[in-house]
Amino acid sequence: MDLNTNRSLIAAALGRIPDGDRAALQTVYRLTSAKLFGVCLRILGERGEAEDVLQEVYVTVWRKAADFDASRASPMTWLIAIARNRAIDRLRSTRQSRNMDPIDAATEIADATAGADSAIESVQEHARLHGCLDGLASHERAALRGAFFDGNTYEDLAARMKVPLGTMKSWIRRAMIKLKACLEQ
């Protein structure tokens, strides 16, 4: 299925949910659950827990679909944010992050440019973000990765990279400033 068709199918189905259309939610589920489950599983690491959170995610989508504004956001962006936030909430309420392995920025290999999958956004958007991430210092990129993919907090990242908390905060903030400037070019 081509990307734009997929995107508009998801957006159209989201638009029918506020009327109480369960089949519309099921359509959204069919088109997006594998991606969102991957997101939850990556952060939580356990299938059972990730499924509990995925259930919360679609119940949230059911309740909040009226807030989705197709003219402002892409449906996958909106859904991924809900999935990440629910998974992170779960993580925070139960335990430490799953992945607390030490990160050594000096030996961190540069990101492999993974194939952007069509369920997300255009290949160009992914390539653009990647180009900007590549422009960051390796320690900054490593810290952002730990946060985005492992659900690490500032404290987790400081421990994993063996730097003081304040240093980690300034790394992340500086990285985000650079990232925004680069993406806006």
Partner 1 sequence: MTDTFDHSLPEDELLAAEYALGVLAGADRAAVELRAAREPPFARLVAGWEQRLAPWAAEIDEVAPSPQLWDRIAAALPAHAQSAGLWHSLTFWRGFGIAAGALAAASLAALIYLGALTQQQPLVAIIEGGGHRHFVATLDAGRGTVAVMPAAFSPDATRVPELWLIPPDGKPRPVGLLRADQTVTLTLPTDLAALAKKDVVLAVSLEPPGGSTTGLPTGPVIATGKLTSL
Which positions from 54 through 83 interact with partner 1, judged by CB under 8 A?
54-56, 58-60, 62-64, 66-67, 72-74, 76-78, 80-81
Are 83 and 117 within 8 A, CB to CB?
no
Per DSSP, helices labelled H in the chain are: 3-16, 22-44, 47-64, 75-94, 123-134, 138-150, 154-161, 165-184
Handedness of CA 142, 144, 145, 147 (dihedral sign): positive
Secondary element (H or E) of residue 74: none
CB of 98 or CB of 178, closer to partner 1 = 178
Per-residue x/- track, 17-56, partner 1 (CB under 8 A): -xxx-x--xx--x---xxx-xxx-xx----x--xx--xxx
99 binds partner 1 per the rule CB under 8 A: no
Number of residues that bind partner 1 (CB under 8 A): 78
Q: How far is the CB of 48 from partner 1 (least distance, A)?
A: 9
How far CA 140 is from CA of 50, 106, 185, in Å, comes to 28, 11, 20
d(Cα 160, Cα 127) in Å, to the nearest integer? 28
CB of 8 or CB of 22, closer to partner 1 = 22
* Residues 107-166 close enough to bind partner 1 by CB under 8 A: 114-117, 119-121, 125-126, 128-129, 133, 137, 139, 144, 147-149, 151-155, 157
